[in-house]
């Protein structure tokens, strides 16, 4: 059963979908020693699964075609625990995370590298399941895996599997000018509900026993960015996927770059009942919780309604919402207008959020 | 969440604010006892809305803030021992002891595990039979039943490698100690709704009688708080001192009988050192002798390290309503959540942290 089928039937498998009792083989340190076993692992397992989306060359490097477009490059590492969570897994997350970094920079994602750092003892069946997810996500986002690496480290050195990627994309005109160009009056938009990914991972990792579980928003932002580029063009100021630190971290970063005050309204923030419930329970703010397929964007004054309408037509972004406005710098870099009317500074996240006692 | 939204309705809040302003003929000083209420009052802008009508001062109601440095130091020490895991609620991790916090200890290689319930700590013990698991049991009467349940579960399952570092505190003795100080400024109390959910409010009858101060049991949502404030103001204007329950949807007079019985079964009342306050008579809970085999203080020897009190932090003045956090000379200068001088700034429920987070900063650039 695929994850999507599982989802549609209303029940998530919280643990690894592969029964650990049934697996016959695990990754061993010998798989990482570069000999016959390493070659077998790469050829029979990894390349076989990634075949539709990967370069099959085992050369030391891969030649990339040059289209004449300027290129954008990014790198990221993925260390999520657990490896499988409601709404995704580390494999698809690695692809979407890399693709999204390129997309919000105004680039069409084209190529990426995939380095696997595997803990000795990881069942091969689990690895295969994750690679299948990599292949699916890469196919969906039309990126090619052009180079890779596999390392096996002793038990305890990593938590199951870490993935490192580098991504290259072609910059498409018009490239959003970036937060330095933010002007007073510009409008701020989020593309979907806040804090979904962070809460989904926390709820299963910490076995919070929440029903229904929050679902990660892990997914590709490229279709949305492409749609906005085609319809709004130069009227987009900047885009950013709101990952670690959540929307609050992006707002603070932009405010620092542009020297303006970014002011949002609490009543307009899209939050699902599940995320809101856990946030209330643990004393956390969804604005500080990580997202993986939700972005913050700033557009020229008067453009927000059109941008929100465009986003709301994209699956998963039905709750896109205008959340605030850019102003000349006041006393705080980022402010939030609370539901009862008070305007307050919004805290810049300090480390990871810690749940409160009562 | 609809249930909560009803208590956050802006129009109803404005009506209550207007009613409070209309009722008050002079400025009254109320103390909200619980740190959760402090945060809610500031987050929703209620304290600012009532400026000039009601002064809200912040009580000792953050259990993390008042946990003694001796206990935090011992927790840090335990976390560094081989074959041991110190389990704690998340907001205890950043609070500094004499020199270090549990987060510092974890960074240096100590075993500190965040748990979301005391039963998680029992499960941690069952999963790690070769290690000793010590649960840092912090909190008011609100969390005491859950840790009591963990003790009973560990006993039932024969879990030998689980124990508690009990730092539970009792809220009413702290209120008593406060109103016994001659210069206290409290004219009425908003009693902590969560604590009353467990303990009820019967015991406040004699408190009100003895000290002739209104006590109003109050919840945490904006409308709960505004109703509690209005009830206090009405009593004060009429020269009355009564016990009222404005949190009837959650609190019964006798509290939660099962939870109270559980607390009674596992704990006994003791005198306890509160950070910033000193020893408060009957201000804490400890395990009863029949459960002392779960007492980490008895199970593990503690090294006698000197406690280095940080005298730059005026936490006592803040937690007794003598000093508004923003009037502290260190607030936002040497003391911030990044580098806190004391627990009220570092704890998520602390009054200083609430002001730091929600009060609009003063613009120093103009």
Convert A107-135 to b/e letters by CB count within 10 Å (16 or more is b).
Answer: bbbbbbbbbbbbbbebbbbbbbbbbbbbb
So what's the pLDDT on residue B266? 98
C-alpha distances (whole Å) from B163 to each of B84, B90, B121, B153 are 11, 18, 9, 12
Distance spanning both ends of chain B, measured CA to CA: 42
Chain A residue with CA closest to B34: the answer is A358
Interface contact A34, partner B, CB < 8 A: no
So what's the pLDDT on residue A343? 93
Strand pairing category for B84-88 and B243-245: unpaired
Which residues on chain A are in Cβ contact (under 8 Å) with B338? 350
C-beta atoms of A206 and B4 within 8 A? no
Q: Could you tell me how many CB contacts below 8 A there are between chain A and chain B?
A: 94
Residue among A294, A308, A288, A161 at smallest CA distance from A231: A308
Half-sphere exposure of residue B101, counting CA atoms within 13 Å on the CB side?
21
Report the pLDDT averaged over residues B171-178.
94
So what's the pLDDT on residue B301? 86
Low-confidence ranges of chain A (pLDDT < 50): 1-14, 20-23
The CA radius of gyration of chain A, in Å to the nearest whole number, is 21
Yes or no: say if A122 and A150 are a contact pair by the CB < 8 Å rule.
Answer: no
The answer, yes or no, to whether residue B138 has pLDDT greater than 80, is yes
**A215 phi/psi in degrees, rounded to 5:** -105, 135
Distance spanning both ends of chain A, measured CA to CA: 39
Which residues on chain A are in Cβ contact (under 8 Å) with B360? 331-332, 335, 343-345
Cα A280 to Cα A268: distance, rounded to the nearest angstrom = 18
Which residues is B338 bridged to in the sheet?
none
| B180 Cβ neighbours under 8 A, 6+ residues apart | none
Which residues on chain B are in Cβ contact (under 8 Å) with A277? 1
C-beta atoms of B360 and A331 within 8 A? yes
| A231 Cβ neighbours under 8 A, 6+ residues apart | A306, A310
Cα A226 to Cα B354: distance, rounded to the nearest angstrom = 42
C-beta atoms of B338 and A350 within 8 A? yes
- For B20, left (φ over 0), alpha (ψ -120 to 50), or beta? alpha
Longest dimension (CA), chain B: 66
**A76 phi/psi in degrees, rounded to 5:** -155, 155
| A276 Cβ neighbours under 8 A, 6+ residues apart | A286, B1
Cα B278 to Cα B272: distance, rounded to the nearest angstrom = 8
User: ipTM for the complex?
Assistant: 0.85
What sign has the CA pseudo-torsion B33, B36, B39, B45? negative
Cα B31 to Cα B51: distance, rounded to the nearest angstrom = 14
Strand pairing category for B28-34 and A321-327: unpaired
Q: Comparing A221-235, B136-150, B307-321, which segment has the lowest mean pLDDT?
A: B307-321
Which residues on chain B are in Cβ contact (under 8 Å) with A347? 357
> What would the pLDDT profile of B9-42 be if each residue is shown by its tens digit?
999 999 999 999 999 999 999 999 999 999 999 9
Which residues on chain B are in Cβ contact (under 8 Å) with A343? 45, 360
Residue A297 corresponds to which tokens in the numbers above?
Answer: 């964007």
Residue A150 host element (H or E): strand A144-153
So what's the pLDDT on residue A270? 98
C-beta atoms of B45 and A206 within 8 A? no
C-beta atoms of B94 and A354 within 8 A? yes
Q: What angle do CA A111, A115, A117 make, to 5 degrees?
A: 160
What letter does residue B294 receive in the DSSP assignment? Answer: G
The Cα of B196 is separated from the nearest Cα of chain A by a number of Å equal to: 13
Which residues on chain A are in Cβ contact (under 8 Å) with B114? 206, 354-355
Residue among A297, A316, A307 at smallest CA distance from A230: A307
So what's the pLDDT on residue A171? 96
Chain B residue with CA closest to A357: the answer is B89
Residue B327 corresponds to which tokens in the numbers above?
Answer: 């009037």
So what's the pLDDT on residue A60? 74
Which residues on chain B are in Cβ contact (under 8 Å) with A358? 36, 63, 139-140, 142-143, 194
Which residues on chain A are in Cβ contact (under 8 Å) with B143? 357-358
Strand pairing category for A321-327 and A261-265: antiparallel
C-beta atoms of A340 and B362 within 8 A? no
C-beta atoms of A357 and B91 within 8 A? yes
Which residues is B158 bridged to in the sheet?
none
Cα B78 to Cα B299: distance, rounded to the nearest angstrom = 11
Q: Which residue has the tokens 């990593």?
A: A158
Q: Comparing A32-41, A103-112, B139-148, B232-241, which segment has the lowest mean pLDDT?
A: A32-41
Cα A88 to Cα A101: distance, rounded to the nearest angstrom = 18
Chain B residue with CA closest to A338: the answer is B44
Which residues on chain A are in Cβ contact (under 8 Å) with B10? 339-341
So what's the pLDDT on residue B346? 80
So what's the pLDDT on residue A5? 35
Interface contact A339, partner B, CB < 8 A: yes
Interface contact A345, partner B, CB < 8 A: yes
Cα A170 to Cα A193: distance, rounded to the nearest angstrom = 29
Q: How far is CA B66 from the centre of its chain?
A: 7
Nearest CB among A277, A338, A355 relative to B116 is that of: A355
So what's the pLDDT on residue B363? 66
Q: B-side interface with A, Cβ within 8 Å?
A: 1, 4, 8, 10, 13-14, 36, 43-46, 48-49, 63-64, 89-94, 114, 116, 120, 138-140, 142-143, 194, 222, 337-338, 348-349, 357-363
Nearest CB among A206, A345, A355 relative to B361 is that of: A345
Residue B311 corresponds to which tokens in the numbers above?
Answer: 């005298």
> What would the pLDDT profile of B40-79 be if each residue is shown by its tens digit?
999 999 999 999 999 999 998 889 989 999 999 999 999 9
Coil, helix or strand for A165? strand
Interface contact A209, partner B, CB < 8 A: no
C-beta atoms of B8 and A340 within 8 A? yes
What letter does residue A28 receive in the DSSP assignment? Answer: -
Interface contact A338, partner B, CB < 8 A: yes
Please, which residues 257-276 of chain A have a Cβ atom closer than 8 Å to chain B? Answer: 273, 276
Q: What angle do CA B70, B75, B81 make, to 5 degrees?
A: 130
C-beta atoms of B143 and A357 within 8 A? yes
């Amino acid at each position: 059963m695929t994850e999507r089928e599982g989802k549609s039937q209303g029940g998530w498998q919280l643990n690894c979908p592969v029964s650990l009792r049934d697996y016959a083989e695990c990754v061993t340190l010998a798989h990482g020693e570069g000999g016959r076993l390493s070659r077998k692992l790469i050829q029979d397992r990894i390349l076989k699964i990634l075949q539709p989306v990967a370069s099959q060359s085992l050369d030391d490097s891969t030649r990339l075609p040059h289209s004449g477009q300027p290129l954008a490059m990014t790198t990221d590492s993925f260390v999520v625990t657990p490896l499988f969570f409601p709404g995704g897994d580390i494999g698809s997350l690695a692809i979407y995370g890399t693709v999204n970094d390129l997309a919000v920079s105004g680039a069409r994602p084209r190529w990426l590298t995939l380095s696997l750092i595997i803990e000795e003892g990881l069942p091969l069946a689990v690895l295969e399941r994750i690679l299948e997810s990599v292949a699916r996500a890469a196919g969906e986002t039309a990126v090619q895996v052009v180079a890779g690496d596999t390392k096996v480290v002793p038990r305890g050195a990593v938590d199951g599997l870490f993935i490192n990627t580098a991504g290259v994309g072609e910059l498409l005109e018009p490239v959003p000018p970036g937060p330095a160009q933010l002007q007073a009056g510009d409008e701020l938009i989020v593309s979907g509900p806040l804090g979904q990914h962070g809460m989904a991972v926390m709820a299963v990792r910490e076995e919070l026993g929440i029903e229904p579980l929050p679902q990660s928003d892990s997914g590709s932002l490229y279709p949305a960015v492409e749609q906005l580029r085609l319809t709004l063009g130069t009227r987009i100021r900047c885009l950013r996927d709101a990952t670690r630190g959540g929307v609050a971290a992006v707002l603070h970063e932009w405010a620092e770059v542009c020297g303006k005050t970014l002011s949002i309204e609490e009543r307009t923030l899209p939050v699902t009942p599940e995320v809101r419930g856990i946030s209330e329970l643990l004393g956390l703010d969804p604005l500080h919780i990580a997202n993986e397929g939700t972005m913050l964007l700033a557009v020229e004054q008067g453009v927000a309604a059109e941008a929100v309408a465009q986003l709301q037509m994209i699956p998963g972004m039905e709750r896109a919402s205008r959340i605030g406005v850019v102003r000349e710098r006041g006393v705080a870099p980022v402010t939030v207008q609370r539901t009862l009317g008070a305007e307050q500074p919004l805290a810049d996240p300090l480390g990871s959020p810690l749940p409160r006692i009562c | 969440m609809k249930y909560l939204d009803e208590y956050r309705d802006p129009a109803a809040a404005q009506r209550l604010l207007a009613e409070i302003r209309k009722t008050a003929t002079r400025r009254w000083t109320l103390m909200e006892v619980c740190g959760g209420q402090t945060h809610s009052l500031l987050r929703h802008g209620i304290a600012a809305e009532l400026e000039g009508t009601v002064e809200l001062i912040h009580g000792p109601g953050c259990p993390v803030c008042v946990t003694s440095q001796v206990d935090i130091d011992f927790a840090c020490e335990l976390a560094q021992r081989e074959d041991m895991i110190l389990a704690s609620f998340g907001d205890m991790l950043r609070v500094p002891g004499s020199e270090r916090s549990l987060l510092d200890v974890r960074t240096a290689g100590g075993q500190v595990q965040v748990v979301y319930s005391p039963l998680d700590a029992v499960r941690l013990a069952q999963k790690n039979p070769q290690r000793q698991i010590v649960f840092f049991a912090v909190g008011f009467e609100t969390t005491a039943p859950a840790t009591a349940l963990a003790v009973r579960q560990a006993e039932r399952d024969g879990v030998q490698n689980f124990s508690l570092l009990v730092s539970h505190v009792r809220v009413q003795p702290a209120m008593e100690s406060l109103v016994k100080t001659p210069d206290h400024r409290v004219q009425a109390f908003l009693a902590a709704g969560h604590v009353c959910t467990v303990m009820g409010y019967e015991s406040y009858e004699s408190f009100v009688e003895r000290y002739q101060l209104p006590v109003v049991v109050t919840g945490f949502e904006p409308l709960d708080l505004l109703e509690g404030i209005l009830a206090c103001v009405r009593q004060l204007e009429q020269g009355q001192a009564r016990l009222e329950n404005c949190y009837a949807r959650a609190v019964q007079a006798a509290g939660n009988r099962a939870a109270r019985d559980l607390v009674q079964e596992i704990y006994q009342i003791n005198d306890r050192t509160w950070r910033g306050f000193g020893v408060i008579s009957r201000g804490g809970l400890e395990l009863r002798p029949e459960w002392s085999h779960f007492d980490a203080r008895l199970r593990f020897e503690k090294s006698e390290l000197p406690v280095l009190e940080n005298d730059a932090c005026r936490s006592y003045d803040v937690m007794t309503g003598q000093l508004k956090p923003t009037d502290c000379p260190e607030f936002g200068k040497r003391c911030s959540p990044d580098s806190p001088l004391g627990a009220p700034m570092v704890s998520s429920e602390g009054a200083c942290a609430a002001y730091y987070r929600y009060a609009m900063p003063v613009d120093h650039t103009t």
